[in-house]
Structure 1
Amino acid sequence: MGINSERDVEANLQIGPTDKGMVRIFVEAQGVEIPMDFEPDEAEEIAEEIRSAAKAAQSIKK
């Protein structure tokens, strides 16, 4: 499965701080829970990657 492979899977996504000062991305789909914890600076890098991908997607869509 790659980034362009479509799947008919419904998932829930939650993002927030933990009580240990980490940033958690929590994905739940089909009974599987995936908690991913990141240092705040790693979370900033991920946020920048998401912003860059959104910008690239907007230029493709136009």
Structure 2
Amino acid sequence: MGIDKESDIAANLQIGPTTLGMVRIFIEAEGVELPLDFDPEEAEEIAEEIRAAAARARAMAPKGSR
């Protein structure tokens, strides 16, 4: 499955700090629990990538659908 393919898979996403000073992204779907830990600098880079992707998606959206 590529990044630009639609999917019917539903998942829960949680993001928060760990007791060891890491940032955890926790993904839970049917039969899957995936904890992903990042140091704070990596987490900030991921946040920047998400913001940039959101801006590109917003620019691609049809006018009036926002």
Shorter-chain TM-score: which interval?
over 0.9
Instruction: Give ranges in structure 2 of 5+ residues lacking alignment.
Output: none
Using the TM superposition, give the Cα deviation of residue 5 of structure 1 relative to its aligned residue in structure 2, in angstroms.
1.0
Identical residues among aligned pairs (%): 68
Q: CA RMSD in A?
A: 0.7
Partner of 1:56: 56
Partner of 1:45: 45
What TM-score, normalized to structure 2?
Answer: 0.91
What TM-score, normalized to structure 1?
Answer: 0.96
Quick check: which has more Rg, 1 or 2?
A: 2
Q: How does 1:1-62 map to 2 (within 5 A)?
A: 1-61=1-61, 62=63
**Structure 2: how far apart are the matches of 1:46 and 1:27?**
15
Instruction: Give ranges in structure 1 of 5+ residues lacking alignment.
Output: none
The letter of the residue matching 1:20 is: L
Using the TM superposition, give the Cα deviation of residue 10 of structure 1 relative to its aligned residue in structure 2, in angstroms.
0.8
Q: How many residues align?
A: 62
**Structure 1: how far apart are the matches of 2:16 and 2:40?**
11
**TM superposition outliers: structure 1 runs of 4+ over 4 Å:** none
